[in-house]
Each structure stands twice: as structure tokens, then as C-alpha cells.
Amino acid sequence: MDVFLAYIKTNWLELAGLITGVICVWYNTRQNVWGFFWGIISVVIYAVIFWEARLYGDMGLQIVFAILSVYGLYQWLYGGEGHTELQVRTLPRNLIGWLVLITLSGTAFLNWLLSRFTDASLPLVDSFTTTISLIAQWMLGRKFLENWWLWLFVDGIYVFVYAYKSLYWTVLLYAIYLALCLVGYKDWKKDMR
């Protein structure tokens, strides 16, 4: 018990990130715009955590997540026909090729940046997960149902990355995210019908 309490005391910021992150994704699964507000709080916390862990791609990702949260909030409220609430829909097939191209080029570019200009600890993995996460967040903001499958894939990778970096609260957070991805997909799919 003493070891657990000591871990909480020294990693309170990571615990705060876990709590705000779970609240954010729970609201997202419910299609509630409050998820974007909690998301902004969570990403600010995690920007600091990832800076300290030298996961610079993930740190930069948090800044972009904050911007995409504002975008998503607007889209959810006014992105539908006639500036009405946006409805859940499937990803148009013509976007798949573009998203694959963005994944490959984004990963290559970020890997080059992180490898050349930083002391990043896992530049290639960090670049890949960052690129996939940006695409998934954009898809969430546009209410594409498939965002949940992309999050499921990348969050599974993150569990291993954060375990390797000894960010144990974050491992727990991403394990919870995995479960919430399944809940989100099921609920959004039901809402589409």
C-alpha cells in the first residue's frame, strides 16, 4: 500500500491526466460536446507528461488535439446540413487512399524531424502513433463511425509504448480507452440506424 501511495504522490499529474482523459472519451462515446472541453484539459496535462518522457511527437500531438477539439466542437454543433448538429456517418471510400497516403508521409516526415532534431526515445513509433492519432481525432470531429476502429488500433500500440516508458497511469488510461472505443462504436452504430 505504501508503494502505491508513493506512486500516486510522485505521479499525481499523470493520474489527473487519466481522470480527465476518461471523462473526455466517455462524453465522446455519448456524443456529448462536453468531451471536447475535458479533452482540452487532458491534453494540456499530457503535453507536460510527454515532454518529461521525451515523447515529443506525442507532446506536439497534444497541442494539435487541443486545436482539433475546438474544430470538433464546432463541427458537432454546426457541421451538419444547414449548420445543424452533425450526425454519425461512415467514412467515404474516396478518403481511404488519402488517409493512407497521409499516414505514410506524416510518419516519414515526423520520424525525420524527431530523429534529426530531438533526443526522442522512440522516434518511428512516436511518429506513426502521432500520425494515426491525428487522423482518428479528425475523424472523430467529423463523426465518422470508423474513428473508433482507428482509435482501438492506435491505443493498443500506445499501451505497449507507455508501459515501456513506465507511465503506468497512462497504460491504465489507454486500456480504459480500448474498452471505451468498443462502447463508442456500438453506441454510434446504433445511433446511425
116-161 pLDDT, tens digit per residue, is 998 888 999 999 999 999 999 999 999 999 999 999 999 999 999 9
Higher per-residue confidence, 51 vs 94: 94
Predicted local distance difference test score (pLDDT) of residue 3: 56
Which residue range is the domain that position 92 belongs to? 2-192
Instruction: Count up the domains in the chain and report the number.
Output: 1
What is the model's pTM? 0.86
Predicted local distance difference test score (pLDDT) of residue 55: 79
Is there a contact between 145 and 189 (Cβ–Cβ < 8 Å)? yes
43 has a pLDDT exceeding 60 = yes
41 C-beta neighbours (distance < 10 Å), count: 18
